[in-house]
Amino acid sequence: MQSSRARSSVKDDKDGHLVYWPGYVMGARYKIIDTLGEGTFGKVVEVKDLEMEHRMALKIIKNVEKYREAAKLEINVLEKLADVDPDCKNLCVKMLDWFEYHGHMCIAFEMLGQSVFDFLKDNNYQPYPLEQVRHISYQLIYSVLFLHDNKLTHTDLKPENILFVDSDYEVVSVYNGSKKVSSDKHDLRRVKRSDVRLIDFGSATFDHEHHSTIVSTRHYRAPEVILELGWSQPCDVWSIGCIMFELYLGITLFQTHDNREHLAMMERILGPIPYRMARKTRTKYFYHGKLDWDEKSSAGRYVRENCKPLLRYLQSNSEEARQLFELIARMLEYEPSQRITLREALKHPFFNKLPPHQRLGNDRPRCNGESSGSRERSHSLSR
């Protein structure tokens, strides 16, 4: 009797995570089935809604003030997106419910598959086929353009925040002529459907809101963010360029944890950082407008040996691969004002071969410019 009484009281662990177990019922409604993932913010669990009889993903935020406040901001963004796009035609994850449970903010979402990152990792970092790179990239651009049109910047775009709707896969054996390249153990997984949804709006920022100095996960962080020159929607475009490279090659473009080294990698891959940006930054990474970087140091050797000019990463001479890299290069323009916009990116020749059934909403988000009514709704989003 005593153990069941102890179990019935709500407890947190030392980090602020809710202590739960399979079968634990929250608020007499949500029965926890399994843990799906964990992050700095808390945990994501699979639950069964006992009222509606369906399964959902429930994000249980740590019982910590700063994460609780961040969750409230995310809920605010998700509610406003739902006002403008109730049917989720713009591919942002659908929030089904939210509530507070003993100090934990909880957000319920539709159940989705693996992230494009986890699928890549489980596939031994074998890259996606080019037609899937095209489809995933197109959907990502389309979805983030919807945010941009509604005065939002996502600020944390990365492969972990792009989820397959369904990550079922088939196993493909790879052959090279008559000789098999991979053993059975390393047969490749190929996702059957490359439909995706964008998740994690915890850092999404409206144009009129305070802009944190540093945003984005390191590897996808734009130069203007590192140089503390201020940022807006173009920083998302930079992140998408990095993601498209990773989908195509299976490797991270900027594999580093240090600002100066990150800038040195950019210069090795993309050429020198513009003098205007070097002169304007108040950071201490430049000397007389040039990156203060010792190429003969061990870090210098590491960058030289592990990075090369962007076009040298091309895996084939096909027109499609060249188009992909031309688009990536346009997304990785140093100057935010020179970077391609997502509306322009959707019209890039790389997407010409996208089959008609994969195209969305006449190739443009539906929220702005269709009628005065829809314009008013999208403008009200940022109020």
Element (H, E) at 377: helix 372-380
361's tokens: 């909403």
Instruction: Give the residue numbers annotated as catalytic, written as ranges.
Output: 156
The DSSP result for 110-137, as a single string, is -----BHHHHHHHTTTPPPPHHHHHHHH
Residue 59 known to bind ligand: yes
User: Residue 128, by phi and psi: left (phi above 0), alpha (psi -120 to 50) or beta?
Assistant: beta
The token pair that represents 19 in the structure block: 């202590």
What is the spatial distance between Cα 204 and Cα 202, in angstroms, rounded to a whole number?
6
Alpha-carbon Rg of the chain, whole angstroms?
22
Q: How many CB atoms lie within 10 A of CB 238?
A: 24
Distance CA 79, CA 75 (A): 6
3-class secondary structure, 140:
helix
Dihedral angle over CA of 331, 319, 167, 115, nearest 10: -20
Q: How many CB atoms lie within 10 A of CB 169?
A: 18
Reading the chain (383 residues) residue by residue, the pLDDT tens digits are 444 444 457 999 999 999 999 999 999 999 999 999 998 899 999 999 999 989 999 999 999 999 999 999 999 999 999 999 999 999 999 999 999 999 999 999 999 999 999 999 999 999 999 999 999 999 999 999 999 999 999 999 999 999 999 999 999 887 655 445 544 456 899 999 999 999 999 999 999 999 999 999 999 999 999 999 999 999 999 999 999 999 999 999 999 999 999 999 999 999 999 999 999 999 999 999 999 999 999 999 999 999 999 999 999 999 999 999 999 999 999 999 999 999 999 999 999 999 999 999 876 444 444 443 333 333 334 33
Structure tokens at 289: 């407008």
